[in-house]
Amino acid sequence: MDLVFLHGPAAAGKLTVARALAARLNFGLFHNHLIVDALTAVFPFGTPSFVRLREEFWLATFEEAAETGTSLIFTFAPEPTVLSGFPERVRRAVEGRGGRVRFVRLTVGLAEQERRIGLPSRREFAKLTDVQTLRRIRASEVSTEQPPVELTVDTERHSPDEAAAHIIDALGLVPASEHQRYPDV
C-alpha cells in the first residue's frame, strides 16, 4: 500500500496533479477539502472540534487503507491549525500497518501562485481565492511545520500530466487494479 502525500502551498496544483496521478494509478483520491468542507459545515475552521476531528478522520482513513492494502493519494496544505507532528503520525499509522508514505512537495513561483488563486476552478471547493489572504498566509508559513520531502516537483515548469508521470517514475509507483467508488454489490 502506498500513500502518496502531496503537499505544498495554496494553488501549487495539488488537486490537479492528484487527479492526474489517480487517473494513471487507479488510486483513490482523498483530497484535503473532502474533510475540511464536511467539517466546516458544522464546526468553524480552526476550532478545537474542527482540528481534532479533521486529524481523526485523516488518520482513521490512512490506517484503514493500509490495513486493507488500498493505495491512495492525499493532498495537504501545511498551515498553522494542523497539530505539530502530524506528518510523523501519518507515517506511523501507515507504516505500522505495512504501508509506506511517499512525501511529494509541489512548488510554484509566487507570481504564478497569485495568478492561479483567482482561477474559476478554485471555486469547486471552498478554496482560497483572495490574493491578500494568500499573502498573509505566506507571511505566516515561516513557522508552519512542513512535511518531509522525498521528491519535489515544480508545477509551474511541468504540466499536471508531466508532474504525474515524473512522480510515478521517480517513486516507482505501480498502478492498482481499477478503483471503483460504487462497485456493484
pLDDT in tens, 67-97: 999 999 999 999 889 999 999 999 999 999 9
Q: Which fold has domain 2-171?
A: Rossmann fold (3.40.50)
The dihedral over CA atoms of 55, 56, 57, 63, expressed in degrees to the nearest 10, equals 110
> What does the alpha-carbon distance between residue 160 and residue 18 come to, in Å, rounded to a whole number?
8
Strand 100-107 vs strand 28-30: parallel, antiparallel, or unpaired? unpaired
What one-character DSSP code corresponds to residue 73? Answer: E
- The whole-number pLDDT of residue 181 equals 77
- The whole-number pLDDT of residue 185 equals 66
Q: Which of 55, 114, 115, 123 is nearest to 89 (CA)?
A: 55
Q: Which residues of the chain have pLDDT under 70?
A: 141-142, 185
The model's pTM is 0.91
- The whole-number pLDDT of residue 97 equals 97
- With a CB cutoff of 8 Å and minimum separation 6, the contacts of 81 are 45, 46, 50, 51
- The whole-number pLDDT of residue 141 equals 64
- The whole-number pLDDT of residue 149 equals 97
